[in-house]
């Protein structure tokens, strides 16, 4: 029997309301997994970058490095911090696709299980991140170079062409971003390599560009409002701290204010990043249902989960490669897809030229005995 909604989402092409409902239901059902994983990754990034910053500051204050070198190192450090934040954000989008797939078939994922089942995909993620970084930087660098050349040449036409090229490049990057937006869920759940995952996202979003873009924009607006409310609360606390100190610019008050700003930013990211990641994973599932008929596989696995199987985790099939991942099930043979009727095998006509009956099972050939009495209606010539 086909399970219509064994988990957090119905096994059919999803509507906008289904996507929003599944996103919030997933996070609400497993907050330790989603918030816990994001918090651990953010803390690791902050502690690592903070330790590097302390070492650089200590070396600069001790006179071990010159001021101009220290400034260069500081710029590189800030750039590295931004890259690390981007990498962690992207990694969350991939890692959190695993628990979403488990919840789609009625399982309750665990934090340790999620890390154990996805950590082997981190090297492939780093490859994708480098490809994205290099490709985006190359396109933007070309557009900026044309703009700078036009400004240096004092040519209005060249400057206008550079500005138009820059704007066109931004539109192109936005379009490419939507087309490859499902790369990370495909990378982490379909056992694909970096290039294959990018191609897979391109295939899944073919014909679904505006639908994908609209869902991302809707969730982005919701997440932005939540982040603004959280950060505003911490900013109010910072203002109160400064007011208590009579507005004096003391070191303690400044440190407290900066600390509250940073804490507010971290809390806002931890509480909202899972929703964007889960939305990406839900859109990936929806695209697979629309393109691959993936609801049949989900229905089969949901029935197996209900029967007590897949207690240690389940990885979705990869119909794109024709192979199953280590924890998947073999692809279904033709005409043996679960929860579907086998092909109709009765001949469309009676053999040996016998006339067809208007209703019911066809009359057997003349002289052929019935397997048991009463199976066929009496033949009237």
Of 316, 336, 341, 318, nearest in space to 327 by CA: 316
For range 10-14, the mean pLDDT? 93
- For residues 143 and 165, the answer to whether their CB atoms sit within 8 Å is yes
Better-predicted residue by pLDDT, 14 or 164:
14
Instruction: Name which of 372, 327, 285 is nearest 120 in CA terms.
Output: 327
- Mean pLDDT computed over 332-354: 45
Q: Is 99:26 a contact under the CB 8 Å cutoff?
A: yes
Judge whether 226 and 272 are in contact, CB under 8 Å.
yes
Q: Is pLDDT above 70 for 232?
A: yes
Distance in angstroms (rounded) separating the CA atoms of residues 114 and 24: 19
The predicted structure's pLDDT at residue 50 = 72
* Rounded percentage of the chain residues whose pLDDT exceeds 70: 72
Q: Work out the average pLDDT over 246-264.
A: 74
- With CA atoms as reference, report the closest residue to 182 among 116, 90, 111: 90
Of residues 167 and 100, more confidence is placed in 100
Q: Can you give the pLDDT at residue 286?
A: 96
pLDDT band at 163 (very low <50, low <70, confident <90, very high): confident
Q: Does residue 121 register a pLDDT over 90? A: yes
pLDDT at 93: 87
Q: With a cut of 50, say whether residue 155 has pLDDT above it.
A: yes
Q: Confidence band (pLDDT; 50, 70, 90) for 344?
A: very low
* pLDDT mean over 31-38: 93
For residues 2-11, average pLDDT? 80
CA 149/CA 177 separation, integer angstroms: 27
| Average pLDDT of the residues in 245-269 | 76
> Does 234 have pLDDT greater than 50?
yes
Given a cut of 70, whether residue 320 has pLDDT beyond it is: no
Q: Which residue has the tokens 């982490």?
A: 188
Q: Quickly state the pLDDT bin for 207 (edges 50, 70, 90).
A: very high
pLDDT band for position 364 (cuts 50, 70, 90)? low
**Buried b / exposed e across 46-73, counting CB within 10 Å, b at 16+?**
beebeeebeebeeebeeeeeeeeebeeb
pLDDT band for position 330 (50/70/90)?
Answer: very low
In the predicted structure, residue 377 carries a pLDDT above the cut 80? no
pLDDT confidence bin for 334, thresholds 50/70/90: very low
Quick one: DSSP state of residue 190? T
pLDDT above 50: residue 16 = yes
């Amino acid at each position: 029997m086909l399970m219509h909604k064994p988990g957090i989402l119905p096994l059919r092409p999803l509507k906008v309301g289904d996507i929003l409902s599944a996103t919030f239901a997933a996070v609400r059902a497993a907050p330790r997994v989603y918030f816990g994983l994001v918090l651990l990754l953010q803390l690791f990034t902050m502690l690592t970058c903070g330790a590097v910053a302390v070492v650089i500051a200590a070396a600069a204050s001790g006179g071990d490095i010159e001021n101009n070198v220290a400034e260069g190192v500081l710029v590189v450090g800030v750039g590295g911090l931004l890259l690390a934040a981007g990498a962690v954000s992207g990694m969350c989008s991939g890692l959190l696709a695993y628990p979403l797939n488990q919840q789609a078939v009625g399982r309750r994922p665990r934090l340790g299980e999620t890390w154990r089942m996805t950590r082997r995909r981190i090297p492939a993620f780093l490859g994708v991140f480098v490809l994205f970084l290099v490709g985006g930087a190359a396109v933007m660098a070309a557009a900026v170079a044309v703009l700078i050349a036009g400004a240096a040449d004092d040519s209005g036409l060249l400057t206008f062409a550079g500005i138009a090229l820059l704007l066109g490049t931004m539109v192109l990057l936005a379009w490419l971003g939507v087309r490859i937006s499902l790369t990370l869920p495909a990378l982490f759940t379909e056992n694909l390599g970096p290039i294959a995952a990018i191609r897979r996202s391109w295939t899944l979003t073919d014909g679904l560009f505006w639908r994908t873009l609209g869902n991302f924009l809707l969730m982005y607006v919701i997440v932005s409002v939540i982040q603004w409310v959280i950060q505003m609360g911490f900013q109010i606390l910072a203002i109160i701290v400064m007011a208590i100190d009579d507005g004096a610019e003391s070191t303690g008050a400044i440190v407290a204010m900066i600390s509250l700003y940073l804490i507010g930013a971290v809390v806002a990211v931890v509480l909202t990043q899972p929703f964007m990641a889960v939305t990406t994973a839900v859109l990936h599932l929806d695209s697979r249902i629309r393109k691959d008929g993936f609801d049949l596989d989900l229905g089969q696995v949901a029935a197996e989960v209900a029967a007590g199987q897949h207690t240690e985790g389940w990885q979705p099939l990869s119909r794109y490669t024709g192979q199953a991942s280590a924890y998947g099930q073999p692809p279904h043979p033709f005409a043996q897809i679960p929860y579907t009727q086998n092909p109709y095998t009765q001949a469309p006509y009676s053999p040996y030229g016998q006339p067809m009956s208007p209703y019911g099972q066809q009359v057997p050939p003349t002289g052929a005995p019935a397997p048991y009495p009463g199976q066929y209606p009496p033949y009237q010539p």
